[in-house]
Amino acid sequence: MDARHPPRLLRRRARPGLGPLWLLLALGLAPAQAVAEISRPHSYLQLAFAQVVFDSSLSVHPDGDEDEEAIDYRRAIGGHLRASWQSAVGGFLYFDYLGTDACVGDCLGGGDAEDTRAGLEHYAFGLGWHWEEVLAGTGLYATAARERRNVEKCEADEDDACRDDRRAGATVGIGVQRPLSDRWAVDAHYAYYLGMDDPDDAQERLLRIGNGRLTLSASVELVEDLFDGVIQYEESRNRSGRIGVRLRF
């Protein structure tokens, strides 16, 4: 073969736009045989019913009148959504959302009392890395996220009677996962807050959130390789319980 006349294939230059494809291949989307051999515990969509119990009551005065007897909101109910995708090499991305309305007495009977209202909202965008079977079948993972937590209380129906406590910052966390049987698995994760300290001024603080968050989870396989049932408990000064389903993919 004449070195001055290389084959046509060698003379072709890489076309623009193929870079992202090669990146995806490197991340483990192909070949399919390699993907099939690696489990992806962080690829799922989770929907759950959630209840939050505040560490101290959130007091609201009707119409903002301090002479009126305060209404204490002790609990909140709502929904929790988490979506996560993990590559074959172990890296994963996730989105987490919790939205609740506080309630007095019977939570399921309605959350409003005398034109007052309170609510808690939390959402996060994060990334992480998972190491499978680090020790005796136990997996280890690390996370980092940007988070926002909003607490709102309203003295009346008008918007100008509402007061917010908004916290935004970051978290770094570490977690462990371990299967108990062919169907059951447990998970523990601790996230440390960065830049979301509780204000010292009580007028600026509606609820305390503490320095970090511990989440304990138990899951059971309902449909093989498809659906799991999930129970979670979360502790961050304000306690939270969740029960729901997880669609794995």
Q: Where are the domains of the chain?
A: 41-248
Residues in a beta bridge with 96: 82, 124
Per-residue pLDDT at 16 = 42
Q: 3-state DSSP call for residue 36?
A: helix
Per-residue pLDDT at 61 = 79
Give residues with Cβ within 8 angstroms of 194, minimum separation 6. 169, 170, 171, 172
- Regarding the domain delimited by 41-248, which CATH topology (the fold level of the hierarchy) does it fall under? Porin (2.40.160)
Q: What is the pTM of this model?
A: 0.78
What's the pLDDT band for 112 if we cut at 50, 70, 90?
A: low
Average pLDDT, the chain: 82
Gyration radius of the chain's alpha carbons: 24
Per-residue pLDDT at 134 = 83
Question: Distance (Å, rounded) from C-alpha 248 to C-alpha 244?
Answer: 13
Closest CA to 194 of 214, 170, 174, 167: 170
Per-residue pLDDT at 60 = 82
**201 φψ region: left (φ > 0), alpha (ψ -120 to 50), beta (else):** beta
Question: Distance (Å, rounded) from C-alpha 31 to C-alpha 214?
Answer: 37
Q: For residue 183, is pLDDT > 80?
A: yes
Q: 3-state DSSP call for residue 65?
A: coil
Element (H, E) at 122: strand 117-135
11-50, pLDDT tens digit by residue?
Answer: 333 444 444 434 433 443 433 333 334 578 899 999 999 9
Give residues with Cβ within 8 angstroms of 17, minimum separation 6. none
What's the pLDDT band for 168 if we cut at 50, 70, 90?
A: very high
Q: How many CB atoms lie within 10 A of CB 202?
A: 8
Question: Distance (Å, rounded) from C-alpha 191 to C-alpha 167?
Answer: 15
